Each structure stands twice: as structure tokens, then as C-alpha cells.
């Protein structure tokens, strides 16, 4: 679905090239207080975008992006203060300058008409080497208008709702100081990305919002997620197939479903998840703390080395859980919960005031005055695979 969207938007971009063949000179200097003197600023309002909270600015955003992307000098695309409405849009690379900067000062609001999104993405970046998205602005996915139509809790083949910010094959990137609000589907997703940092990203959605993962990673390498505040209706951070070398630190999570690896095993030929390091995070009022989840009918996919240390959990229902019978739609043929045989190494550092016992293949975690339930590893025999760090 993502590939189809990218193809469609590229064709639209090509049609717009005739309109902007002389637009490269329209880039202005000085509108952004953060722009370097050598940068040309491509302000979307110079290409006709209107910050009236009503006009669809798709064509104007694409014009500004194509001009900035093809600039021969350092470029900064600016979305100034104001409320800009836009439907499905793809900022497509490769670009002639790197890194290209996208500064968001204003509030970008999605079209609330669900038919405007033929594919599961709203604001997408594709095939870019060197990207910096920043600016203390926000992306409002208007999820409250469509959440009532989400039936994924009972339909295994449900339609995926649009991700607010999707990065596909984007390398050497930094996303910082951005606020994403009420996404229809995932808030932020990175697919096939390398050397990517999320810093000081804020995610806000109600606890009841369905499938609104905060930051979702798939087939990514060398990712850092730090200093983020995430409150949503699904996983604060989720990692699936082919994720390798992820450092997560100083995350405030809640409400939500915690920090998760998986679900895994749903698709053929899934790559393993390797080297996930979680440190100095706080989870409050979440369904889970650290979770690994796999489908009961899935093909084997391994989690190789997950290390969590200095994690504070308050009122977390399942502080640490490995669930190999994950089946949210309750339509799996085989509902048996298997042992955690696909976990190669799980390392947990427990703060001194906590207590952890390992007996008979079950982890019993007894928090101090947290109101949480014990850790559960369902029907597991994994005591030889768990390393406790002191």
C-alpha cells in the first residue's frame, strides 16, 4: 500500500513540475529565525498555502517541497505559524542538497474526510538521505473523527488507518521538537530507515484511541529515541520485524500499552529483532511495561538481546510480559500460548528498591506500593535465558 501511494504522489509531483519550473527563485530568506545565512528558505505561503484552517494546501506544499528538494544550495522548507489543512502528501526524494530541513512552526491539520487517504499514510517522507524535521509545530491527525470506524479489535483483516508521520527509506535523519496529536492510525512510523534519531517528540492521544502507536519501527537500523513524552491508546514505542540496534532512553510513557517488541510472526520471512536497549524510562498507568508479543500461528522470529535498566513503573498492569499467544482479533485458529523459545537473551536491571524472583520458569515481580500485578511470562521455561544485572 505504501508503494502504491508513493507512485501516485510521484506522478502528481511530475505534473506539478511544469507549474514550478520557474519557482526555485521564489525561495525567500529570513522568515525562519533558525535558518543559517547560507540557507534558502522555501516558505509554503510563498507558493500559495493558506493558514485559514480550511483550505486544502496539498498542491502548495508539494510545490514548495519540490523547489526545496531540487535546490542546489542548502534548503529549508518552512511551514510558518498558522493552521494549515492538507490531505495525503508525500515529500519524495532524493534531493539535491543534504541535509534538507523541514521547519514546522505552525499547526498542520489532516483532512477529516477518510476518503482522502487511499493508503495508510497522511504526511510521508520517502527516499531521502539527510533530513531534519523540527520547529515546535504540531501535526493533528483528526483521529477523533474516524476512530469509531476502527474494527481491528475484532477483524483480523481490518483496514489500516493513516499514519500521521511516515518515514520510508529515510537515512541520516533527525526529528525533534515536534508534537503529533490524535493520529488516525500510528502517530509516527519509520520503515527501512538507517541512522535515525527522534528527540523531544511529544505524542498526545486519549487512552481509548485505537491502534495509535506513538513511534513504530520496522526494518530499521541504528535508531535513537530519547527525551520523548508519549501518551496514547496503544504502544508508546513498538518495534517489529528487522529492527536492529535501537537505543531508547528518557521516555515518559503513559497512558498506553508500554514499550513493545512485536507483534512478530504474522508475516512470512520476517527478520529478527536484535539489540534493543531501554534505559531511564518512566511508565505510568500503562497496560504493560516492557512487552514481547508474537502470534501463536507465526513462523519463528527471534528477539536477540533486549536490555532494560533503570525503568520506573507506576500503576502498570503487567510490568514485564512475554506473550506468544498474541491474537487481538480473537480469530486465531491455534490459541495455545507457547513458551518464550524465541527470546535469545533478556537482560533486566532492577532498581535496588524492587524485588525480582525467578522460579520454575516464571518471573514474579513485586513492585513497592505500585498497585501493579506481578510480571507474567506465559507457560515459559526461560530462566536460563534471563540475566539479572545488579
Question: What DSSP state is assigned to residue 69?
Answer: H
CA distance 371 to 354: 13
Q: Which residues of 201-222 are buried (b: 16+ CB within 10 A; e: fewer)?
A: bbbbbebebbbbbbbbbbbbbb
Q: Respond yes or no: is residue 257 known to be catalytic.
A: yes
Q: What is the 3-state secondary structure (H, E, C) of 241-260?
A: CCCEEEEEECCEECCCCCEE
Tell me the β-bridge partners of 290.
259, 320
Residues 6+ apart with CB under 8 A from 7: none
The DSSP annotation for 235-302 comes to -SEEE-TT-EEEEEES-EE-SSS-EEEEEESSSTTPPPEEEEEEEEEEEES-SEEEEEEE-TTPPP--
Q: Which of 305, 240, 234 is nearest to 267 (CA)?
A: 240
Q: Active site residue: 187, 257, 353, 355, which one?
A: 257
Residue tagged 507558493 (cell numbers): 47
Q: For residue 82, give the C-alpha cell.
A: 498558522
C-alpha distances in angstroms, 282 versus 40, 118, 191, 260, 296? 41, 37, 26, 14, 30
Which residues are identified as catalytic? 257
Amino acid at each position: 500500500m505504501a508503494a502504491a501511494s508513493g507512485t501516485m504522489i510521484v506522478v502528481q509531483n511530475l505534473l506539478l513540475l511544469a507549474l514550478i519550473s520557474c519557482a526555485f527563485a521564489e525561495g525567500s530568506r529570513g522568515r525562519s529565525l533558525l535558518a543559517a545565512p547560507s540557507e534558502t528558505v522555501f516558505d509554503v505561503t510563498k507558493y500559495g498555502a493558506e493558514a485559514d484552517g480550511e483550505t486544502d494546501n496539498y498542491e502548495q506544499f508539494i510545490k514548495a517541497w519540490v523547489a526545496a528538494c531540487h535546490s542546489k544550495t542548502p534548503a529549508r522548507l518552512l511551514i510558518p505559524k498558522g493552521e494549515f489543512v492538507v490531505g495525503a502528501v508525500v515529500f519524495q526524494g532524493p534531493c539535491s542538497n543534504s541535509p534538507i530541513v523541514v521547519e514546522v512552526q505552525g499547526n498542520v491539520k489532516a483532512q477529516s474526510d477518510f476518503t482522502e487517504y487511499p493508503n495508510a499514510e497522511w504526511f510521508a517522507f520517502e527516499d531521502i538521505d539527510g533530513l531534519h524535521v523540527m520547529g515546535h509545530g504540531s501535526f493533528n491527525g483528526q483521529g477523533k473523527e474516524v476512530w469509531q470506524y476502527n474494527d481491528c479489535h475484532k477483524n483480523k483483516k481490518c483496514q489500516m488507518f493513516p499514519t500521521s508521520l511516515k518515514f520510508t527509506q529515510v537515512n541520516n535523519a533527525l526529528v525533534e521538537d515536534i508534537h503529533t496529536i490524535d493520529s488516525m492510525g500510528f502517530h509516527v512510523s519509520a520503515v527501512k530507515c538507517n541512522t535515525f534519531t527522534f528527540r523531544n517528540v511529544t505524542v498526545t492521544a486519549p487512552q481509548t484511541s485505537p491502534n495509535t502507536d506513538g513511534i513504530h519501527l520496522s526494518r530499521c537500523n541504528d535508531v535513537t529515541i530519547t527525551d520523548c513524552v508519549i501518551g496514547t491508546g496503544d504502544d508508546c514505542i513498538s518495534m517489529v520485524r528487522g529492527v536492529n540496534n535501537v537505543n531508547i532512553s528518557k521516555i515518559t510513557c503513559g497512558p498506553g500499552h508500554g514499550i513493545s517488541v512485536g507483534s512478530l510472526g504474522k508475516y512470512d520471512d520476517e527478520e529478527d529483532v536484535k539489540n534493543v536497549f531501554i534505559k531511564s524510562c518512566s511508565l505510568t498507568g500503562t497496560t504493560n511495561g516492557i512487552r514481547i508479543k508474537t502470534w501463536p500461528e507465526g513462523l519463528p522470529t527471534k528477539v536477540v538481546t533486549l536490555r532494560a535498566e533503570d525503568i520506573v513503573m507506576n500503576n502498570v498492569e503487567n510490568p514485564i510480559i512475554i506473550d506468544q499467544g498474541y491474537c487481538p482479533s480473537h480469530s486465531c485458529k491455534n490459541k495455545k500460548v507457547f513458551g518464550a523459545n524465541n527470546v535469545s537473551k533478556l537482560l533486566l536491571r532492577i532498581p535496588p528498591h524492587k524485588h525480582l524472583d525467578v522460579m520454575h520458569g516464571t518471573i514474579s515481580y513485586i513492585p513497592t506500593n505500585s498497585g501493579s500485578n506481578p510480571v507474567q511470562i506465559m507457560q515459559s521455561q526461560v530462566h536460563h535465558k534471563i540475566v539479572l544485572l545488579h
